[in-house]
Amino acid sequence: MLVNLVEILKMAEETKSAIGAFNTPNLECLNAVIDAAERLNVPVIISHAELHEGVSPLAKIGPVMVQAAQNAKVPVCVHLDHCETLSYMQQALDLGFTGVMYDGSTLPYEENLANTKKAAAIAKGYNCGVEAELGALASREGGEGAASGPVYTDPEEAAAFCKEAGIDALAPSFGTAHGIYKAKPVLDLDRVKVISEKTGLPLVMHGGSGVSPEDYRKAIANGLRKINYYSYMAKAGTQAVKELLAKEDVTFFHDLALAAEKAMGADVEKAMRIFAGL
Ligand SMILES: [Zn+2]
């Protein structure tokens, strides 16, 4: 069942849980995520990141994602992650995406606000929910290292931004980073609570994979309603393929794809259980 970002985040608010948002750049990821959500009977967000355009063009994977959401037995939001240009957002809206994240976090505050307002106004015309980012995470999406340190989101600034921007969810910066963690992340979860209270909006955790179960639970209790999770799921898929190839002389690619899908499904299911409080 296809739902929009506002509807799915409302479900999370009602149950004081978080919805997992998983990138699905190919069919193996998509099957792993939707099947796991159906096994657990939880709502889920499937995402396409603008950064993955080279891996999987939006024009090809987008319609597949929308159709998978429509056919799913659980509520599914189809979301555009880290969109930096309005023309790319427009492509997703035309395909029927029901959530978009406009990311102007690298821009100066005023420019980020002006662009976010514009993006939100356009998306609303398509009954599509909007997420925005304020502050800066430690590294780029899918990136390896940090070019510069994180800039934590200021709660007062977040409150003013959300009041003006007309958005439905905010991604603040509070210590998580994209990609694979080299050291255990130290999260400022008190900051999350203050931002949640001051903005009154559902909050989003980026760089969500690799965070400890205790930190997930505390973050959810403090107002996190959407957790972006991808790197560790993708890593689980690669690991399964490596193990299979070490054991057997595999000829057909579909056997590798299936092994990856199964391992990603198991990894995602574990994350979904924690996010849903199961
Ligand atoms: Zn992100």
Res 150: pLDDT: 73
Q: Long-range contacts: 185-194, Cβ < 8 Å, 24+? A: 185/210, 185/211, 185/215, 187/211, 187/215, 187/219, 188/152, 189/215, 189/218, 189/219, 189/222, 190/222, 191/152, 191/153, 191/155, 192/219, 192/222, 192/223, 192/224, 193/222, 193/223, 194/155
CA 206 to ligand 1 centroid distance, Å = 4
Q: Which residues are near ligand 1, the ion (C-beta closer than 5 Å)?
A: 141, 206
- Range(s) of the domain holding residue 233: 5-276
**How large is the average pLDDT for residues 144-149?**
52
CA 227 to ligand 1 centroid distance, Å = 10
CA 269 to ligand 1 centroid distance, Å = 20
d(CA 105, CA 204) in angstroms, rounded, equals 14
d(CA 23, CA 228) in angstroms, rounded, equals 8
Res 184: pLDDT: 82
pLDDT at 140 over 50: no
Number of domains in the chain: 1
Res 223: pLDDT: 97
**Residue 140: alpha-carbon gap to chain centroid:** 14
**How large is the average pLDDT for residues 154-177?**
95
Using one digit for the tens of pLDDT, what is the confidence trace for 11-30?
A: 999 999 999 999 999 999 99
pLDDT at 144 over 50: no
**What are the two backbone dihedrals, phi and then psi, of residue 79, each rounded to the nearest 5 degrees?**
-120, 140
CA 23 to ligand 1 centroid distance, Å = 10
Using one digit for the tens of pLDDT, what is the confidence trace for 68-95?
A: 999 999 999 999 999 999 999 999 999 9
pTM of the model: 0.94
Using one digit for the tens of pLDDT, what is the confidence trace for 196-250?
A: 999 999 999 998 888 999 999 999 999 999 999 999 999 999 999 999 999 999 9
Task: Cite the active site residues.
Answer: 81
Using one digit for the tens of pLDDT, what is the confidence trace for 122-139?
A: 999 999 999 999 987 765
CATH of the domain at 250: 3.20.20.70
Using one digit for the tens of pLDDT, what is the confidence trace for 38-59?
A: 999 999 999 999 989 999 999 9
CA 250 to ligand 1 centroid distance, Å = 35
Res 38: pLDDT: 98
* 148 pLDDT tier (thresholds 50, 70, 90): low
Res 135: pLDDT: 86
Percent of the chain with pLDDT over 70: 96
